[in-house]
Amino acid sequence: MEEHEMSPNEYLAVLKRRKWSLLLPTIIVILISALVALGLPPVYKSVSTILIEEQEIPADFVMATVTSYAEQRLQTINQRIMSTGRLLEIINRLDLYKDLRQKATTEEVIDAMREDISLEYISAEVVDRKTGRPATATIAFTLSYEGQDQPTTIQKVANILASLFLEENLQVRERQAMEATSFLEDELKKVRTKLDKAEQEIAVFKKAHINELPEVLQINLQSRHNVESAIERLDEQLRALKERESSLQSELANLTPTLELEDVRRLEELKLELNRLETRFTDEYPDVIKTRQEIAKLSSKISSDDMREVGGMPDNPAYITMSSQLASVKSEIDSVKRQLADLEKKKDNLNKWIESTPHVEETYNTLLTERRNWQAKFDDLSRKLMEANVAYGLEKDQKGERFTLIDPARLPEKPYKPNRLAIFLIGIVLGIGAGVGTAALLEFSDESVRSSEMLSNATSFPVLAAIPVIQTQEDQQRRKTRSVLMVLAIIGILVAALVAFHFLVMDLNVFWAKLTRRMF
């Protein structure tokens, strides 16, 4: 059969012929969509907006100990609030999910509430202070709750969730600041113990090597130099004393212990002197006369005094004086020798200390380095603890980064979903598509001959006569029934259209109000 292009009249004929195949699916789908749109329970939604404010005091003055990003902290807080205990408490307090709790487990009810809670971030382009480059930062977030309960109940749940976020953020920041302070205090105590132990070890080591420490090396060297100089001076003094001793011994050898022996010796000397003078001079020479007079005087003195025993107590003043001087010199020599012995011993000790200093210095420096490291760590922890205490005060007084509720949850005036207008419009489109598809399917699958032209084209014979349609009484009754059904379908479509128009007007009013607020 050759392809035949259909004329507009033929299309109209198809519509008349397939009007029920077109209208019934369309009406059924539209009615179903209208029933679905009207039958779905309303779901209300209440939203809170919370601003993330930076700390009031500049970070250059007070550095906060809470270093986590806002997104990370929000996720942590969200997990805490979404715990089973927290959500179950809210459900029991406000008597949420009545129908669901009768036919579902507690876990399923809690999972349903978790799905109804939504957390969304609000980001903005900012300049990073560290790098100076633009970056995206979270400046606020919205917390919403949706449900099928009363709007006031939905608002209460949203407000409770917002207050929980605010309280949990304060508790988390304060707890983190307190934990940082407690940790630093414990570490400071440990380091203090290690530092005291290192100082005790240094004290014991210094006590055991008090003269071998590096800081006394210069003193030991100077002391050794002084000792060597003192030894040289004492050596010179000892030599001088020994020479003095020899001189005194020589002089003492020429003296007698007693005066009588001295007079006898003097008398002998005078006699020898007289003999020498008589050989040279006459008896009237003055020196000869003087010498004879002294001899006579000493002879008379010796003869008149009793002679003392030889070896008795010396009574010669010169001898006694010389002996005392000799004894004093010997005593000084002994003292100098003792001093030299002490100095030599001290010199040996100094040499031993100086030689031991390098070996002692190595261990001593190790102890000092350990003490210095612990001291540096102690000072660093003390500084950090002070900063942590200030940061804890910052968090306790709520001067740090905080969440501020700038838009509390409002009472929802209209359902958030379902979007009945959208459902109805989608139903109209699907109904029309279903009607057109059904009519087209029936038309293309029908091989009936509808006109004389189609019969002539199909058989290649001319058509001689055409019998018109003969309508019986049953056909007329069937036609009236179809007309009534058509009227009812049209009424249903009109009712659905009125409902859709009602929702459309409401949505248009809301849209127009939003548009005018943005424009003016």
Which of 326, 360, 383 is a domain's end point?
A: 383
Q: Is residue 25 part of a domain?
A: yes
Q: What is the pLDDT of residue 2?
A: 47
Would you state the pLDDT for residue 311?
Answer: 44
Domain end marker among 358, 383, 408: 383
Q: Give me the pLDDT at residue 280, please.
A: 75
Q: Are residues 224 and 372 in the same domain?
A: yes
- Residue 504: its pLDDT value, please? 56
Looking at the structure, tell me whether residues 354 and 423 fall in a common domain.
Answer: no
User: What pLDDT does residue 254 have?
Assistant: 66
For 371, other C-beta atoms within 10 Å of its C-beta total 18
108 occurs within a structural domain: no
Contact present, 21 and 438 (Cβ < 8 Å): yes
Q: Using CA atoms, how far apart are residues 110 and 89, in angstroms rounded to an integer?
A: 10
pLDDT at 125: 76
Q: Are residues 361 and 465 in the same domain?
A: no
- In this prediction, residue 5 carries a pLDDT of 61
Give which of 140, 131, 112 is closest to 51, Cα–Cα: 140
Is residue 493 one of the residues assigned to a domain?
yes
Does one domain contain both 226 and 362? yes
Q: Quick check: 327 pLDDT over 80? A: yes
Residue 265 predicted with pLDDT over 80: no
Considering only residues 337 and 496, tell me which one the structure prediction assigns the higher pLDDT: 337
User: Quick check: 186 pLDDT over 80?
Assistant: yes
Q: 238 and 378 share a domain?
A: yes
Predicted confidence at residue 212, as pLDDT, reads 84
Position 440 in a domain: yes
Looking at 365, 383, 401, the residue that finishes a domain is 383
pLDDT digits (tens, 9 = 90+) for 385-421: 787 776 666 566 555 567 778 888 888 888 877 777 7
Q: How many CA atoms lie less than 13 Å away from 153 in the CB half-sphere?
A: 16
Q: Tokens 């003999």 appear where?
A: 275
97 or 275, which is more confident = 97
Q: Which domain holds residue 462?
A: 1-40+418-520
Q: In terms of DSSP H, where are the helices of 40-96?
A: 70-81, 84-94
Mean pLDDT, range 368-383, rounded to an integer: 88
Across all residues in the chain, what is the average pLDDT? 76
pLDDT (mean) for 513-518: 52
Q: Mark whether 230 and 323 lie in a shared domain.
A: yes
Residue 508's pLDDT band (boundaries 50, 70, 90)?
Answer: low
Residue 488 in domain: yes
Note the pLDDT tens digit of each residue in 441-471. Answer: 877 776 666 666 666 666 667 766 666 666 6
pLDDT tens, position by position, 67-82: 456 677 788 888 888 8
Does a structural domain hold residue 54? no
Residue 514, domain member (yes or no): yes
Note the pLDDT tens digit of each residue in 109-161.
889 888 989 888 887 777 666 666 777 777 788 889 988 888 888 889 999 98
- Among 13-27, 352-366, 435-449, 498-512, the range with the most confident prediction by mean pLDDT is 352-366
* Digit-coded pLDDT (tens) for 339-371: 989 989 998 988 898 888 888 888 888 888 898
Q: What is the pLDDT of residue 50?
A: 85
Percent of the chain with pLDDT over 70: 72
Q: Give the confidence band of 282 by pLDDT, cuts at 50, 70, 90.
A: confident
Q: Mean pLDDT throughout 36-61?
A: 74
Tokens for 46?
């209440």
Q: Which long-range contacts link 210-215 to residues 24+ away (Cβ below 8 Å)?
A: 211/349, 211/353, 212/353, 212/356, 212/357, 212/360, 213/357, 213/360, 213/361, 213/364, 214/357, 214/360, 214/361, 214/364, 214/365
Report, as an integer, the average pLDDT of 183-198. Answer: 88
Q: Are residues 344 and 476 in the same domain?
A: no
273 and 358 share one domain: yes
Query: Same domain, yes or no, for 265 and 317?
Result: yes
pLDDT at 399: 59
**Average pLDDT in the 503-510 region?**
55
Indicate if 218 and 367 belong to the same structural domain: yes
**Domain co-membership, 276 together with 379:** yes
14 located within any domain: yes
Note the pLDDT of residue 309.
41
| For residue 102, pLDDT beyond 50 | yes
Distance from C-alpha of 37 to C-alpha of 31, rounded to nearest angstrom = 10
Residues 378 and 426 in one domain: no
Give the CB-side neighbour count of residue 96, counting CA atoms within 13 A: 27
- Domain count across the chain: 2
Q: What is the pLDDT of residue 314?
A: 56
- pLDDT-derived band at 520 (thresholds 50, 70, 90) equals very low
Distance of alpha carbon 340 from the chain centroid:
67
CATH number at 282 reads 1.10.287
What is the pLDDT averaged over residues 217-223?
A: 88
pTM of the model: 0.53
**What pLDDT is attached to residue 258?**
54
Residue 61: pLDDT above 60? Answer: no
> Which residue has 């598809």 as its token pair?
437
Residue with more model confidence, 229 or 505: 229
